[in-house]
Amino acid sequence: MTKIVLIEDNEQLQKYICEYLSAYGFEPHVLTDYDAVLETIDAIAPKLILLDITLPKFDGFYFLKLIRKRFTTPIIVISARSEESEQIRGIDMGADDYVTKPFAIGVLVAKINAVLRRSDQAANEIVSGPLVLCSDTMKVRVKEGLSAELSKNEFRVLRLLLRNASQIVSREQLLEELWDDTSFVDDNTLTVNMTRVKKKLAELGLGNAIQTKRGVGYVLDTAHSPDA
């Protein structure tokens, strides 16, 4: 179940939100110790945080800033402060969305699902400069919108290069990345797939993004690709 941490001091609203979140298949956890906010989030490892602004001890914006310094977990602010300036402040400080009280629980759940979808999409993408590699579709695209489909091996090659962008990746590392139990991988297989990846990047306007370091390996450097 998807864990959600609720930071809200109104007990009646706590109960209302938790009951509905549970009914929609989420696993809500109410934070009760405001002296251990970071420790609680670390221990629960939620997929999302619901954060009220009017809280005991400290303003919710203080906790928002504190959480953002350590975690990238999506945060939805829930607050009775409906002024535009307050909503802008929350988003500027790192909130992913802002819901004003009173709210319909269906609206809150819809916003939770939307934020989680965006979060999952970001987790499925590896980005380096203008290049974006999508794990779920095995496509590579440039931020301008052009894209190319990759084979399984082409995807594995580019994924390793992207994860180590601007660093030398040896042929041995790439061969290990390509190896699986269903296909034989040799040096020629790597060369063929590397050539195909370079060609597809060239079609996207990044023909010099992968540089060959003879006798060592390859470097992906989109920042200095002349046609990037």
Task: List pLDDT tens digits, range 4-52.
Answer: 999 999 999 999 999 999 999 999 999 999 999 999 999 999 999 999 9
Residue extent(s) of CATH 1.10.10.10 domains in the chain: 125-220
Residue extent(s) of CATH 3.40.50.2300 domains in the chain: 2-123
Q: Does domain 125-220 have CATH number 3.40.50.720?
A: no
Give me the pLDDT at residue 179, please.
Answer: 85
How many Å apart are CA 194 and CA 184, to the nearest integer?
16
- DSSP 8-state symbol, 151: -
The CATH class, in words, for 2-123 is alpha beta
Q: What is the pTM of this model?
A: 0.64
Q: pLDDT tens, 130-153?
A: 999 998 899 999 977 899 999 999
Q: pLDDT tens, 168-218?
A: 999 999 998 888 755 667 889 999 999 999 999 999 999 899 999 998 999
Three-state secondary-structure class, residue 218 = strand
How many Å apart are CA 168 and CA 179, to the nearest integer?
19
Closest CA to 154 of 204, 196, 187, 185: 196
Longest dimension (CA), the chain: 67
Q: pLDDT tens, 87-140?
A: 999 999 999 999 999 999 999 999 999 999 988 877 888 888 899 999 889 999
- In the Cβ-directed half-sphere of 56, how many Cα atoms lie within 13 Å? 9
How many Å apart are CA 167 and CA 220, to the nearest integer?
7
